[in-house]
Amino acid sequence: MDRSNSKPEYFDAYTRDDGKKRRWRGLRVLGEGTFSKVLLATSQTLGDEKIGENGVLGPQMDGILSPNPEVKIDRRKLVAIKVCEHGPKGGASEERIEVSLKRELEIMKVISHPSLVHLKAWNIDATRAILVLTYCPGGDLFDVLNQHKELIVPGLLRRIFAELVGAVQYLHSAHIVHRDIKLESELFHLLYPSGD
């Protein structure tokens, strides 16, 4: 999403739990890859949809564009939205991308583990696929280890490693192989203090 663009981008998807259609509003791009991009988004309510029709998004708060100058975004409503455009990119065939995306969606629909990103909703249409996922505000483990070396103490390392091993063990018990375990693939979920 381009911040200079005055109109927010909306994403409709069907929730995992009850299959109801919900809407999220994109806030900013978190990352981009060859085949997809991931955006930070917030749960959208009917009342909020009218905000922004004048083309104004509001001021920036905590690095996040607010839909309304008077309303601070509820961090509990933040999600990561993975958007995969259909069609070949980077030399990969359209069929290969489609098979990979379907496999990822099928796996995400059946897994449930506290140390794994949770699929909240999804939608596949003619032009793109949308996966609404848990937002991990801590970033990836590579960045955490590089930017916060002073926080990396033996107890925290043991906890990270135990959670990683537990998640991989869970996947293996379900006959799922990750195939891309590296620091950049492991997301860090930070808990905010109460009242924040």
pLDDT in tens, 85-120: 876 555 566 777 778 888 989 999 999 999 999 999
The ranges assigned to domains in the chain are: 10-134, 141-185
For the entire predicted model, the pTM comes to 0.77
CATH of 10-134, one of 3.50.40.10, 3.30.565.10, 1.10.287.110, 3.30.200.20: 3.30.200.20
pLDDT value of residue 138: 86
Q: Each residue of 111-159: pLDDT tens digit?
A: 999 999 999 999 988 788 999 999 999 888 898 889 988 888 999 889 9
Could you tell me the two tokens for 4?
Answer: 């200079």
Query: Could you write out the three-class secondary structure of 127-183?
Result: CEEEEEEECCCCCEHHHHHHHCHHHCCHHHHHHHHHHHHHHHHHHHHCCCCCCCCCH
pLDDT above 60 (res 80): yes
Report, as residue numbers or ranges, the catalytic residues. 180
For the chain, first and last CA: distance in Å?
Answer: 26
pLDDT value of residue 154: 92
